[in-house]
Amino acid sequence: MTLERQRLVEGLACLIAFGACIPLANWMIGNVGAFCTPEGICLIPVAPGVMAPSGVLMIGLALVLRDLVQRRLGTKFALAAIAAGTAISALLAPPALVVASAAAFLFSELADFAVYTPLQRRRLVLAVFASSGTGLVVDSIVFLWLAFGSLDYLGGQIIGKAWMVLIALPLIHLLRRRDERIGLQPA
């Protein structure tokens, strides 16, 4: 397989996985957790004594996958993925949370994009860490404020998303080393 074809195949796989994170996050919130509230939100422990909606795991993963979409397919695909993800988020969110869900997705992914873009060519792991960290904080603040007018659950939201980013970083490091070894350049 040529390097260009490999970049395309890997990019499309990341794009599909990125898109799948959105419905999976919405499904998890109502179906996966240590317990579910009467409002139907299922919670998981993300740190000792700290609970968060289970869907935060997929949002953390989506931030990393968006970075990989950009690395493999370029900025135009990444921006198109953000637009499509925002629409999917709005379509799948419960009616009371449509604006909060779509706005949080859009602003967090654009913040991720803004931080990742200048860093990614020289320092991929740092770029993913910094951009995902920025994105997950923006996502948490925007969603909680618009949905509930409160930041009471901010800690749990941030910790839950950060776990997925931290789990992904060693894989990003291995990907960067493999890319360097075989001569695969970012898009």
Say what the pLDDT of residue 105 is.
96
Structural domains for the chain = 3-182 (1.10.1760)
Task: Quote the pTM value.
Answer: 0.94
The pLDDT of residue 162 is: 97
CB contact set of 108 (below 8 Å; sequence gap of 6+):
59, 63, 135, 136, 138, 139, 142
Reported as a single tens digit per residue, the pLDDT across 21-65 is: 999 998 998 899 999 988 888 999 999 999 999 999 999 999 999
Consecutive 10-residue averages of pLDDT for the chain (187 residues): 93 97 92 90 95 94 97 97 95 87 96 97 95 98 93 94 97 96 92
Which residues make Cβ contacts (< 8 Å) with residue 25, sequence separation at least 6?
A: 55, 56, 57, 58, 59, 62
Residue 94 has a pLDDT of: 82
